[in-house]
């Protein structure tokens, strides 16, 4: 497939990266023996349980189980997909990411993507220029001033103006069939049934939507008077823009804060910009939809508390409830989701202009807890003085509580449900199914009972051990789960000088990745000076098991199949087993 990043480059990138520097540039680390520690950036804690091991080029949190190499950390902390995380890490090391060539020798995918981002940035600059030089610029600037925005804020968010003419963008960036097709693909230009092409955004205040790396992926346009409809117009889904994954203002927020105690979700672009104008720089907009699971997951990676601040009308309350439903499976212990509904007719923009930063933040501090909003919403149309009403509340709450993975929140909800119903919480607990969750890696890693798992775990954590014994390809035939994987790991470590991060990177995307990552966290409790002997002993145990297996296979063959060569093999196996120390 064209455009893929070569695996050799990824391995070289992981080899060059210094996990300590990557993490420390985002989370302040402190020396702890030969490793480094910090409070985990992926869950709320007061005592550091997040460890970075420079020798393994690996990080691990003993609290929440987060772990991985430098690429994994950037993916989790910066909220990026794998290819983007590779790009970021490469840029930090001053490297350019190569792409595999497609048919004809051209990396068409990569060139197309780069051209798309380049065009989107040029269009954003064009809209900014129009804000200053278009014949309607005075009117547009007066509108911004009336909304209380300064030129500095407008520049910081890249606010511009889409001209009222039908074809300003088309004329500026079209000119040939290929260019116009690109404009159509990115939904900067539309085409009607008669084949006529025209600008998608016209006579609107323009807000560039940037991805987590700061690249323009789409636009939001707002009318200059409230008589036009729709008031807000977003870019449709394109090959760059996926509305459910992006958050307006996220990139700008991260430019001001590396770590956040709180993030506020609002509904509109002007809300984000107006709040920033008044010093509230920790807000993002969900692009006119309810906060999606992808958006919420990204925000919970950044902050332990997310506040949904929506209008108090029907649409705002519907969006809040959908956000709550999307958040239930995502909430971890120590994370907090709250809800603030503003008076009808008001929004964050109008509130912060009327009451200032202090007044708005006082409202945020009074936001409703998840528990209260959950039961207030479900009970709004239920009469809890009647048995039928109590049954209805249980029926409504039960499937939602069952979706919660956090034991803390499940217990909290059950206690509140019991209080509202006047029931014993033990009875309710028996009615609510337990979530089907996997054993935490930190717990699962304690149970490494089989020799093959032990050998793999030692290799993953100490790849240098692979060079202490020769590779025996015959072990692939050992009838033990994981035998082939062990031999593959042994080949990798025997032939190459790898650290744990590089070794595991080679298994990314395979069905063995999760188990090998779990082995990387296994507490083997073996002193460093005994590691080599432990691995050799385990390796010899596996050799003996294979010889015993092979002996049984040969011994049970019919006499006519026992060739001279096989009889000689039986004698060699017997001698080898007798020479093995007991």
CB 291 within 8 A of CB 330: no
Task: Give the burial class of 525: count Cβ atoms within 10 A of its Cβ; 0-12 exposed, 13-18 middle, 19 or more buried.
Answer: exposed
CB 122 within 8 A of CB 46: no
**483 vs 186: CA distance, rounded Å:** 49
User: Using one digit for the tens of pLDDT, what is the confidence trace for 55-65?
Assistant: 889 999 888 88
- The whole-number average pLDDT for the span 429-452 is 57
CB 437 within 8 A of CB 470: no
Which is more confidently placed, 227 or 29?
29
Residue 2: the pLDDT is: 43
Q: What percent of the chain has pLDDT over 70?
A: 93
- The whole-number average pLDDT for the span 190-197 is 89
CA distances from 462 to 358, 457, 458, 526 (A): 54, 8, 6, 12
Which domains, from first to last, does the chain contain? Answer: 7-92 (3.90.580.10), 109-240 (3.90.980.10), 381-431 (1.20.50), 442-579 (1.10.860.10)
Which is more confidently placed, 362 or 422?
362
Residue 576 has pLDDT above 80, yes or no: no
Three-class SS of residue 165? coil
Residue 376: the pLDDT is: 93
Instruction: Tell me the pairing of strands 283-285 and 336-342.
Output: unpaired
CA distances from 293 to 103, 245, 271 (A): 37, 9, 22
Residue 185: the pLDDT is: 92
**471 vs 197: CA distance, rounded Å:** 65
Residue 434 has pLDDT above 70, yes or no: no
- Tell me whether the omega of the peptide bond preceding residue 467 falls within 30 degrees of 0, making it cis: no
The three-point CA angle 212-268-76 to 5° equals 25
| Residue 258: CB atoms within 10 Å | 13
Least trusted range by pLDDT, from 103-112, 353-362, 364-373: 103-112
**551 vs 515: CA distance, rounded Å:** 31
Q: What percent of the chain has pLDDT over 90?
A: 42
The three-point CA angle 314-319-320 to 5° equals 100
For the record, the structure tokens of 173 come out as 């960036």
Residue 581: the pLDDT is: 56
Q: Estimate to the nearest angstrom the gap between the alpha carbon of 262 and the chain centroid.
A: 18
437 falls in which pLDDT band (50, 70, 90)?
very low
Least trusted range by pLDDT, from 21-35, 465-479, 501-515, 567-581: 567-581
User: Using one digit for the tens of pLDDT, what is the confidence trace for 515-565?
Assistant: 888 888 887 778 888 889 989 989 988 888 888 888 887 878 888 777 888
Residue 193: the pLDDT is: 85
Stated pTM of the model? 0.71
| Residue 127: CB atoms within 10 Å | 26
Residue 520: the pLDDT is: 86
Residue 382: the pLDDT is: 87
320 falls in which pLDDT band (50, 70, 90)?
very high
Residue 444: the pLDDT is: 42
Three-class SS of residue 204? strand
Residue 189: the pLDDT is: 94
Residue 270 has pLDDT above 50, yes or no: yes
**Up-side HSE of residue 566: CA atoms within 13 Å toward CB?**
14
Residue 441 has pLDDT above 70, yes or no: no
User: Using one digit for the tens of pLDDT, what is the confidence trace for 196-237?
Assistant: 999 999 999 999 999 988 999 999 999 988 767 778 889 999
Average pLDDT, the chain: 86
CA distances from 74 to 51, 83, 92, 251, 510 (A): 16, 11, 11, 15, 20
For the record, the structure tokens of 255 come out as 């430019």
């Amino acid at each position: 497939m064209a455009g893929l990043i070569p695996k050799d480059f990824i391995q070289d990138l992981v080899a060059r990266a210094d996990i300590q520097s990557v993490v420390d540039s985002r989370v302040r680390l402190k020396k702890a023996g030969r490793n480094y520690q910090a409070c985990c950036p992926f869950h709320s804690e007061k005592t550091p349980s997040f460890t970075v091991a420079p020798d393994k080029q690996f990080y691990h949190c003993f609290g929440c189980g987060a772990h991985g190499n430098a690429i994994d950390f950037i993916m989790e902390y910066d909220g990026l997909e794998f290819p983007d995380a590779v790009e970021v890490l490469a840029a930090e090391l001053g490297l350019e990411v190569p792409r595999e060539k497609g048919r004809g020798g051209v990396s068409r995918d990569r060139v197309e993507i780069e051209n798309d981002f380049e065009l989107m940035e040029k269009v954003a600059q064009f809209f900014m220029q129009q804000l200053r030089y278009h014949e309607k610029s005075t009117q547009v600037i007066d509108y911004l001033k009336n909304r209380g925005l300064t030129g500095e804020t407008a520049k910081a968010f890249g606010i511009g103006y889409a001209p009222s003419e039908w074809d300003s963008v088309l004329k500026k960036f079209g000119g040939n069939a290929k260019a116009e097709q690109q404009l159509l693909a990115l939904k900067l230009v539309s085409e009607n049934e008669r084949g006529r092409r025209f600008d998608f955004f016209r006579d609107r205040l323009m807000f560039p939507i940037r991805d987590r790396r700061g690249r323009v992926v789409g636009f939001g346009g707002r009318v200059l008077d409230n008589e036009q409809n729709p008031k807000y117009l977003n870019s449709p889904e394109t090959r760059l823009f996926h509305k459910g994954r992006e958050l307006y203002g996220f990139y700008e927020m991260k430019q001001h804060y590396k770590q956040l105690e709180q993030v506020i979700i609002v509904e509109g672009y002007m809300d984000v910009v107006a709040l920033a104008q008044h010093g509230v720089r920790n807000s993002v907009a969900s692009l006119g939809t309810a906060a999606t699971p992808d958006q919420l997951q990204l925000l919970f990676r950044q902050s332990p508390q997310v506040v949904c601040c929506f209008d108090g009308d029907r649409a705002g309350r519907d969006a809040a409830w959908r956000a709550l439903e999307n958040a239930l499976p995502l909430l971890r212990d120590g994370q907090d989701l709250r809800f603030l509904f503003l008076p009808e007719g008001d929004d964050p923009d109008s509130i912060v202009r009327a009451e200032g930063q202090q007044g708005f933040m006082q409202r945020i501090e009074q936001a409703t807890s998840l528990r209260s909003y959950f039961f207030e919403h479900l009970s709004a149309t239920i009469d809890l003085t009647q048995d039928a009403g109590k049954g209805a509340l249980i029926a409504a709450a039960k499937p939602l509580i069952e979706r919660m993975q956090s034991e803390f929140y499940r217990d909290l909800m059950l206690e509140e449900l019991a209080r509202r119903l006047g029931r014993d919480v033990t009875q309710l607990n028996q009615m609510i199914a337990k979530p089907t969750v996997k054993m935490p890696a930190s717990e699962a890693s304690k149970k490494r009972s089989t020799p093959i798992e032990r050998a793999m775990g030692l290799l993953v954590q100490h790849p240098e051990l692979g060079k202490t014994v020769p590779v025996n390809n015959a072990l692939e035939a050992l009838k033990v789960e994981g035998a082939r994987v062990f031999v593959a790991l042994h080949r990798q470590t025997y032939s190459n000088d790898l650290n744990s991060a590089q070794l595991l990177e080679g298994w990314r995307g395979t069905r063995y990745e999760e188990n090998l990552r779990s082995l990387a966290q296994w507490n083997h409790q073996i002193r460093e000076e005994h590691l080599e002997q432990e691995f050799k002993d385990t390796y010899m145990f596996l050799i003996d098991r294979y010889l015993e297996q092979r002996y049984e296979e040969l011994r049970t063959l019919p006499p006519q199949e026992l060739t001279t060569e096989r009889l000689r093999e039986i004698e060699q196996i017997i001698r080898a087993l007798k020479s093995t120390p007991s």
